[in-house]
Amino acid sequence: MAKLLVQNSGPLKGEVTISGAKNSVLPLMAACILGEETVTIKDVPELRDVKILTDVLTSIGAKVDKTEANTLEITTEEITSTEPDYDLFNKMRASILIMGPLLSRAGRAKLPMPGGCAIGARPIDLHLKGFKQMGAEITVTDTFIDAVAPEGGLHGARVYLDFPSVGATENIILAAVLANGTTYIENAAKEPEIIDLANLLNKMGARIKGAGTDSVKIEGVEKLHGTFHRVIPDRIELGTFMLAAAITRGEILIKNIVTDHVKPVIAKLEECGVEIELTDEGMVVNAVGKELTATDIKTLPYPGFPTDIQSPFMAFLSTVDGESTVQETVFENRFMHVAELNRMGANIKTQDRTAIIPGNKKLEGAQVIATDLRAGAAMVLAGLVADGTTEVSEIYHIDRGYEHFEEKFRKLGATIIRIED
Ligand code: EPZ
């Protein structure tokens, strides 16, 4: 298995360009099976997850062509199977996003029960609640879920989400665009990726209003047509590089960004004493020579502090002056990286969903593992400032969601090399 060797690299300096958002491109790709005509998506990041979803889509009849770097052309003239390849499907939890469009376009979706993962059980009860309310008959066994739409297709419904789940909001929107009648989603997730998905679907001929608010209205239409779309920049990668400047006390210009998508991260870093300047080239994050101090973080659904930035931010808080707390309210088990940071001397304590970070730590290089995609990034950030060498394993997690990860860090002066076992 590949590993990353990270050396203490001093303050990172230079500029980096953010790639297209992983958590947007996946639902955008799923949307392409709703229409028969070609959809061209630009700024597609080169990620393991994109490759996996490409193979899943191909297994049900979509034609996916990479016509140039970072561009996909997806054409689904007909659905040839309503049972995606099980092995492929099980490689990535986000494959569940094809359930809504498959049910809507082909009237059936028979999928393996998605596995949980390191950060929690990650049920799909809210996805299924929406489909049931739209008329689907759903059979669930330990190994698979079989959803069948009624004769004539799904019908509109008013769906209340007990939790503003990103995936459930996306899946129900994808199921509703071709349904008979109008669907309302209440307590919907408001993440920017939901808006990006609605923008693509509306360009394909859908009629969606309210994406980005907690009430989304989808009027069903007969069919969708092809279009062009550019993926929004990845706000989580942006947050990761903001923290790279902060933790190394460096100065980085970050390009291809949407500032509004990271307001909580800007606010929290400024509370710690990091200087953030917005220029017409992008965002300059400057922590050179700054005495940085503690703060408290509480993760929340958007527009609150993003759970995906929690672990990289915790690595940073280990190095500032004073005690910080981090409360994780979105996932029930997203502190797996605490044990790894503690192997480097962070001395973090956890009580239920709150972590107490004493700070003022000179971290020591160690052998650590990436316990999820974002924790992997957190371990690399810690390795950049730890004494000695940090060896990060299980880095396939990082490859899932960060395009050209180590190249981008090396260009900023990081000493980081990938070794294949
Ligand atoms: C999306 O996951 C992202 N993934 C995650 O990013 C992100 O952390 C998460 O949203 C929250 O922002 C993609 O977009 C591909 P949820 P998703 O449904 O849709 C519970 C990363 O690192 N829940 O909003 O799975 C669930 O258990 C990844 O890029 C139910 O109870 O997140 C969790 O506690 C990690 N029932 C909470 O809601 C359901 O039916 C949030 O989950 C669905 C979810």
Q: What average pLDDT does range 312-330 have in this prediction?
A: 97
Quick one: tokens of 348?
A: 């973090």
CA distances from 157 to 132, 194, 218, 315, 327 (A): 9, 19, 10, 44, 35
pLDDT in tens, 355-398: 999 998 899 999 999 999 999 999 999 999 999 999 999 999 99
Q: Which atom of ligand 1 is nearest to the CA of 302?
A: 12
CA distances from 95 to 23, 50, 142, 147, 154 (A): 12, 10, 18, 15, 21
pLDDT in tens, 204-227: 999 999 999 999 999 999 999 999
Q: Is 23 in the pocket of ligand 1 (CB under 6 A)?
A: yes
Please tell me the total number of residues recorded for the chain in this structure.
421
Q: What mean pLDDT is reported for the chain?
A: 96
Distance (Å) from CA 331 to ligand 1 centroid: 8
Which residue, judged by its Cα, is nearest atom 34 of ligand 1?
A: 331
Q: Is 122 in the pocket of ligand 1 (CB under 6 A)?
A: yes
Which residue intervals of 65-152 are DSSP H helices?
86-90, 99-106, 125-133
pLDDT in tens, 169-209: 999 999 999 999 999 999 999 999 999 999 999 999 999 99
Q: Which atom of ligand 1 is nearest to the CA of 122?
A: 27
**CB 152: neighbour CB atoms within 10 A?**
9
Q: Is 167 in the pocket of ligand 1 (CB under 6 A)?
A: yes
Q: Is 116 in the pocket of ligand 1 (CB under 6 A)?
A: no
Task: List the one residue out of 236, 239, 243 whose CA is nearest residue 385.
Answer: 243
Residue 114 has pLDDT above 80, yes or no: no
Distance (Å) from CA 165 to ligand 1 centroid: 6
Distance (Å) from CA 18 to ligand 1 centroid: 22
pTM of the model: 0.97
Q: What percent of the chain has pLDDT over 90?
A: 92
Quote the CA–CA distance of 138 and 148 in Å, as a whole number: 6
Q: Which atom of ligand 1 is nearest to the CA of 127?
A: 40
Distance (Å) from CA 385 to ligand 1 centroid: 30
pLDDT at 302: 98
Catalytic residues: 117
Quote the CA–CA distance of 192 and 295 in Å, as a whole number: 25
pLDDT in tens, 337-360: 999 999 999 999 999 999 999 998
